[in-house]
Amino acid sequence: MIKHFADRLLDAIARKQAPVCAGLDPRLDWIPEEFYERAFEQLGRTPAAVRAAVREFCCEVIDLVEPFVPALKPQAAFFEALGPEGAADLGAICDHGRKKGLIIIADVKRGDIGTTAEAYAQSLFGGARVKGIELPSLHADCATINPYLGGDSIAPFVERALQEGCGLFILARTSNSGSAEFQELALAQGGTLVERVAAQINAWGAQSVGASGFSSVGAVVGATHLDAARRMRELMPRALFLVPGYGAQGGALETIRACFNTEGKGAIVNSSRGVMHAYATGPLKDYGMGRWREAVVEASKALARDISRLVS
């Protein structure tokens, strides 16, 4: 029997006592030189060597953070930027994370209608089948999607995700500084656009609530807008929140706490460059490239410790 996604994620969080995930956003100019040197020696100064360096670096980061975090959030754009074969590299690092027992949250922000949405969902969760042949998929545990094409764009993702025991995080109140431009628009019938989206996320997830009391249809709610976070939790009491914006984007601890319920459950906080590139940016940048492994370990430990203390 396929286990419910929200239950799986909350079990993983409980095992490590850390409601956090490490984002994988590999910045090409911040990857330690040792990876490029090895790749160039084997493959020459070629695009294939750059891809190999990125892939090896990401896999080692996964090995370093695995003791401290229950989940990974690879951002597809950084792999697509490597060229057409970057999708294979994304698949490889997801496979590596799965073998380490980590939950994979594919940050892809897909959104489309009809057969296009079905194809996107197949690529993420289950794989298409033709003439008795099952095609490979990313086999993500969860993915981020964009709701702004309406309910018919959401339905194929919900159907495929739940069929495969997977989950969704639907964009609601995002962490970027310009998010209010559309998300906080007042509606003629009252309320704001993001409040309407939140109500719909709550409705879309109503039929997929697990034993934990949370739905496999969750929401992306940034750590940078306190009043909005409180309102989102009020409107979506059964939704898991994926919370970006911690660290580099300036997310406040009070706002992060508002994303959890009164029992300290219901959210997972992401840090991307603040963990995987901790030696290049943020409070540990003095470690530098020479101590990059120490910086990644210290950053992941601090993330897990700080957020656990915040919600305990």
Q: Which tokens in the block code for residue 115?
A: 């057969």
Please name which of 164, 254, 269 lies closest in space to residue 216, comparing C-alpha atoms: 164
Active site residues: 109
CATH number at residue 123: 3.20.20.70
Task: Quote the number of domains for the chain.
Answer: 1
3, 118, 173, 176 from 166: Cα distances, Å: 9, 15, 22, 26
pLDDT at position 1: 55
pTM: 0.94
Flag residues of the chain having pLDDT under 50: 249-250
Q: Is 162 helix (H, G, I), strand (E, B) or coil?
A: helix
Q: Which tens digits make up the pLDDT trace of 131-176?
A: 989 888 899 999 999 999 999 999 999 999 999 999 999 999 988 8
52 located within any domain: no
Helix ranges, the chain (H): 5-16, 33-43, 47-65, 76-80, 86-99, 114-121, 151-163, 180-183, 193-204, 226-235, 253-259, 273-276, 292-311
**pLDDT tens digit sequence for 258-283:** 999 999 999 999 999 999 999 998 89
Give 107's strand partners: 75
Does any domain span residue 59?
no
Residue 40 in domain: no
- 138 assigned to some structural domain: yes
Whether residue 53 is contained in a domain is answered as no
Rounded to whole angstroms, the maximal C-alpha distance in the chain is 63
**Contact of 272 with 265, CB cutoff 8 Å:** no
Tell me whether residue 57 is in a domain.
no
pLDDT at 251: 57
**Full residue range of the structural domain in which residue 191 is found:** 5-27+68-311
Query: Which residues make beta-bridge pairs with 142?
Result: 105, 167
Q: DSSP letter at 28?
A: G
Is there a domain that residue 51 lies in? no
Is the residue at 36 inside a domain?
no
Q: What is the pLDDT of residue 66?
A: 98
